[in-house]
Amino acid sequence: MLHAADEPTTDATNRSGSLKLMRSYTIDLPGAGRKPLYPEIDKALLDYFRAERSRGHSVTYTVLRAFVNSPSLGVDKHPDFKVSDKYLFCWTKRNNISSRRITHHGQIDLRTKADVKAVLTEYFKELRQRTAGIPANRVIQMDETPCYFDMTRDSTLSFRGSKNVDGADTGYRKQRYTVCLAISLDGRLLKTMVIFRGLKKIPSVTVPNSKIVIAVSKSGSMDSSLAKFWMDNVFAQRGPYFATTPSVLLWDCHRSHKRDDVVKHLKNKYKSKMVLIPAKMTYMAQPLDVSINAPFKSALKNEWAAWLRDTPPLYTPSGYRKRPSYQEIIDMVSLATDAIQMTAISRAFETCGIAPNGQEVPTALLNERLRDALSCEESVIGLREELSELNDDDDEGAGADSGDEVLEERTADDEPSDDYSDEYN
C-alpha cells in the first residue's frame, strides 16, 4: 500500500508528460529547431552543392569549406564566422544531406531533359512498330555483363570497433569474363553464353543441361563474329518454333550489335528485326539492366562465396590459393541463372515499357526513372544536367565521399560510330 507521501502527484505527472509529448512533437515539425545564424551562406552553399552534384562531382567537407572561403561565395561573411566541421555537420542535417557511397561512375551526358524525352519517345514509337503483331515468346532481349573470377562482396558483418575488416579472395578480382544473358517477353531465360578472355580454344568443360554456350576471344568482349555466333547458337533456339520465324531482338548500341554484317545476318538468316536501345539510356530502358543483371550477380557472388568456403583449396607453388577453374565458373553461372525467376523477367519488360503485339504499357507500371524521364521530371535525370549553364569542362565524376545519392547509370555503351546500318530504317 502506498502512503500519501509516496503517491505520485497526478497533476504534476500529467503536466510533465504533456510537456514531453509537446516537445517531441514540435521537434519533428518542419522548420522546427534552431534557425541558422547565417541563412545567406547556407543558401549559397546549398546552391553550390546542387550544382556540383548535378554534374556528378564528389563533394566533401573539404570541398565545401574551400568554396565558402573563396570569393565565389558572393556573400559577405561575419568576421567571427568559421567553416568548422560542426557548422558543416549541422548544415547537412538541416538540408537532409548525408555521406553516400557512389553507386556508379559515368560520363556526363550533354543532352537536355527535353532531348532525352524526345529520344525515348522516338525509341518507343519504333519499338511499337517493330513489335506489332509479334507475340511475347518472339520478343528477345540480350545484354552482356562483365563478371570476374573473384566475385567478392564489398561488405560483411563484423564486430564493431574493428580497425580493419579483411576479406579473402584468390587475387583474381580483375580477371574478367563476359556473361551474355538473354530473356524473352513471355518470361523465359534463353541459353546463357559465357565468353572467356585471352583463350584461343574453348576449354574442355562439362555444360550442365546444355543451357550454357561457351565462346572465347582475345579481349573477352563481344565483337561482330561473336554476335553472329550468339545468334547461331542461342537466338536460333529461342523458342518452340522455326529459327526463321519472324522475331524482334532488342539490345544496346554497342558497335558490334549494329554493324552491317550483323544486321544482315539477323535479317537474312533468321527473318527477324532489330531494335537498338538508345545509348546511355539502358539503365532505365533495358530490362536486363533494370531488373535482372543485379540479382544474377548477387546470386553469382553467393555461389563464389560457397565455393570459397566449401571447396578444398588448391595452392600454387608459391603458396597462394588457386582461382576457380573454368569448370567451376561454368557451374557457378549455371546455378546463378537458376535464381532468375520467370515473374521477374516478365516484370522487367513491363517496367521498361515493352509489351507484346506493339501494345502500350500504362505509365504507372514503368520504372521510376523511365517514368520521370518521359515526363521531364528534374529528379530523375541525375547526371544529365545541361552543362552549358554551369561553365565547367569536367566530364568525369570523382570517387571520394559524396554528400548525396548518385543515380545508378549504365554508361558502357559505345559512342555512335559510322558503321551503323540503316537496314531497318
Domain ranges of the chain: 27-94, 113-153+171-381
pTM: 0.71
pLDDT of residue 255: 92
Share of the chain above pLDDT 90, in %: 55
In angstroms, the CA 21 to CA 232 distance is 70
So what's the pLDDT on residue 424?
Answer: 40
Say how far apart CA 135 and CA 163 lie, in whole Å: 57
More confident residue, 405 or 202: 202
- The pLDDT value recorded for residue 192 is 97
CA atoms within 13 A on the CB side of 26: 8
The pLDDT assigned to 79 comes to: 81
Of residues 109 and 283, more confidence is placed in 283
Which residues is 192 bridged to in the sheet?
Answer: 212
* Averaged pLDDT, 284-305: 95
Measured in whole angstroms, how far is the alpha carbon of residue 319 from the centre of its chain? 37
Question: Which residues have CB under 8 Å from 287's CB, separation 6+?
Answer: 141, 183, 345, 348, 349, 351, 352, 354
pLDDT digits (tens, 9 = 90+) for 348-374: 999 999 999 999 999 999 999 999 999
pLDDT tens digits for 206-229?
Answer: 988 789 999 999 888 899 999 999
- Output the average pLDDT for the chain: 82
Instruction: Report residue 252's pLDDT band, with 50, 70 and 90 as the boundaries.
Output: very high
Per-residue confidence (pLDDT) for residue 16, from 0 to 100: 59
CATH of domain 113-153+171-381: 3.30.420.10
Residue with the larger pLDDT of the pair 355 and 393: 355
Mean pLDDT of 14-38: 62
67 pLDDT exceeds 60? yes
